[in-house]
Amino acid sequence: MSEVKILAIESSCDETAAAVVVDGRKVLSNVISSQIDIHKLYGGVVPEIASRKHVENINGVIEEALSQAEMTLSDMDAIAVTYGPGLVGALLVGVAEAKAIAFAAKKPLIGVHHIEGHVSANYIAHPELEPPFLCLIVSGGHTHLVVVKDYGEYEIIARTRDDAAGEAFDKVARAIGLGYPGGPKVDKLAKEGNPKAIAFPRAVVEDAPLDFSFSGLKSSVLNYLNGAQMKGEQINRADVAASFQQSVVDVLVGHTMQAAKELGITKVAMAGGVASNSALRAGMEAACEKEGFSLYYPTPILCTDNAAMIGSAAYYEYIKGVRDGWDLNAVPNLKIGQR
């Protein structure tokens, strides 16, 4: 079979992105136009502004991706697009654009699940990685433990009951005055703090020991800050950041190791924005080494929202014969493994 070239488009949140990917593993271009500087003014992503920016940026981003790949639309075998989950207004821009391009260029259309894209970023970063493996998906909107049984076949074995891990980072960052986005800022400040300074809780969900819960941890941090303020005590922000982060990392690593052992899986992967967190990487590496597991995670650029990962996931759908119609719609609460 000759090479399969896919133009992929992603607009599910606040990054407008396009990429050209060959055979699901080789990235010829990966263009990301971030809107973060605009949304910073509001302390988080404003959906209406994100949607407007996508419309303004999208053609330029796609043209740049084709140009960097030194290809034209006619060289493509398919057009792929994220159709969920995400912000509906933002998703709709990418979906409408991708459908129109595929229709006019007479190419097949493949709708891709955003989180399956994040998982597939590992295929790009690790050419030798093949299913089955266990994947911890951690981002601003998602915290899942998923068994990747085969390409495009997923079984969710644990999820968060309340906040996503990345959401907890954002909220704690705001509370200690670090601003948005919280993840990288907490990570940086935590390096100067003592992770054992404050004993924040490690929540356990009673009936589902692999599930996650971060809202109690977040409240505990807020209570600590309020208590210190009322007593007029000086707060060591670096210690708060480090101790909070350690609590999140302990839970994420603990549950992942427990799941891998229970299921007898020796390959562990991570995906999503929080997979860039340095403490999580270090903690997961140490745990995997102790258990003799192999650990995989994408480079930071492939952990953020990007279109290369969408092109990778789309390739495995493409070779299975999956095609979408011109009535493809955005599905803001699309479930993993659902079509």
For another protein, the binding residues (CB under 8 A) are 41-42, 46, 48-49, 51-52, 54-56, 58-60, 62-63, 73, 88-89, 92-101, 103-105, 325-330
First-to-last alpha carbon distance for the chain, in angstroms, is 26
Least separation in angstroms between residue 326's CB and another protein is 4
Place of tokens 């909107």: 141
Cα separation, 241 vs 176, in Å, equals 8
What's the token pair of residue 286? 């140490």
Place of tokens 């597939």: 120
- Burial pattern 108-139, b for ≥16 Cβ within 10 A else e, equals bbbbbbbbbbbbbbbbbbbeebebebbbbbbb
Cα separation, 94 vs 157, in Å, equals 30
Nearer of residues 76 and 270 to another protein, judged by Cβ: 76
Place of tokens 């493949």: 110
Nearer of residues 48 and 291 to another protein, judged by Cβ: 48
DSSP letter string, 222-247:
HHHHHHHHHTTPPP-HHHHHHHHHHH
Least separation in angstroms between residue 283's CB and another protein is 37
Cα separation, 79 vs 72, in Å, equals 12
Containing 165, the helix (H) or strand (E) segment is: helix 165-175
Nearer of residues 64 and 250 to another protein, judged by Cβ: 64
Tell me the backbone φ, ψ of residue 227, rounded to 5 degrees. -60, -45
DSSP letter string, 32-55:
EEE-HHHHHTTTS--HHHHHHHHH
Least separation in angstroms between residue 73's CB and another protein is 6
Least separation in angstroms between residue 311's CB and another protein is 17
Least separation in angstroms between residue 120's CB and another protein is 24
DSSP annotation of 275: G
Cα separation, 311 vs 47, in Å, equals 24
Nearer of residues 94 and 140 to another protein, judged by Cβ: 94
Least separation in angstroms between residue 287's CB and another protein is 41
Least separation in angstroms between residue 103's CB and another protein is 6
Nearer of residues 103 and 229 to another protein, judged by Cβ: 103
Nearer of residues 99 and 113 to another protein, judged by Cβ: 99
Least separation in angstroms between residue 27's CB and another protein is 21
Nearer of residues 103 and 299 to another protein, judged by Cβ: 103
What's the token pair of residue 274? 């929080």
Instruction: Give Cα 109 to chain centroid, integer Å.
Output: 23
Nearer of residues 5 and 54 to another protein, judged by Cβ: 54
What's the token pair of residue 173? 């960052």
